[in-house]
Structure 1
Amino acid sequence: MAKLDGIGMPGEDLSHLSFGGRSLIGANLAEADLTGADLLNANLTGAVLFGADLSGANLGQADLTGADLGWANLTGTNLSEANLTGAKLDRSNLTDADMVDANLTDANLTLTDLTGTVLITADHMSEAKWEPTLPPTWPEYFEPPENAWAPQKDG
Structure 2
Amino acid sequence: MPGSSAKNYHVNGDKMVIGGVLNIVDGGQIQKNGVPIDIGGGGPTSVSWSDVTGKPTVIAAGADQATARVAIGAGTSSLVLGTTGTTAAAGNHTHAAATTGADGFMSSADKTKLNGIAANAVDAAGAVAAMKAKAQIAALTPIADPATADAPTVATLLNSVIAALKA
TM-score range, shorter chain: under 0.3
Question: Between Structure 1 and Structure 2, whose CA radius of gyration is higher?
Answer: 2
* TM-score, structure 1 normalization: 0.22
Bigger relative contact order (CA 8 A; separation at least 6): 1
* TM-score, structure 2 normalization: 0.21
| More helix, by proportion | 2
